[in-house]
Amino acid sequence: MICSEVSIDNIDRKIISLLQKDPSITHTEIAKEVNRSQPTIGLRIKKLEKAGIMNFQAGLNLKVADVLIARVDLQTNNPEKILNEVKEYPYIINAFQLSGNYNLSLLLANSSLKHLDIIINEHFRNDSDVLKVHTEIITDILNDFVLPIDIQKRNCKCNEKFKTP
């Protein structure tokens, strides 16, 4: 658990909360909110970043972007192989190893449902190590969901089968 690995207190929690609410908030504004000096806020943020608790990244806000998101659950007899392969696949947002009937879950993004289906067929349904594939399209997102996504069409065998007009 994060709190047991690195000591964070209520001030750190408040700083994290303020930054999540408004990533552009200044250290001075945070200092006023938590009743600490601006240099103290800077040091605390550096400590949280160094510990890996807090990270800043640019990405697409999937709540508002014109992108379809698919959750693809896989049952595979070789999860390590699949995880290593998906690191190189375009359109993969992230992958998770699970317990249960399906041992991997992937998030994919693309602007076309047809292209998502081609990606899933080429990379997973046609893989002899993948025993089952279950796909669901995410239809709505409650909160802002900002993630880095490779939106450039890199070389991928699934791109050859999907030609846009």
Q: What domains sit in the chain, N to C, each tagged with a CATH number? A: 2-50 (1.10.10.10), 60-161 (3.30.70.920)
Q: How would you class 41 by CB atoms within 10 Å of its CB: exposed for 0-12, middle for 13-18, buried for 19 or more? A: buried
**30 HSE (CA, 13 A, CB side):** 25
Residue 3 has pLDDT above 90, yes or no: no
* Residue 113 near residue 137 (C-beta atoms within 8 A): yes
What global pTM score does this model have?
A: 0.75
Question: What was the pLDDT predicted at 2?
Answer: 45
How do residues 45-91 score in pLDDT, each as one tens digit? 999 999 999 988 888 888 998 899 999 999 999 999 999 999 888 78
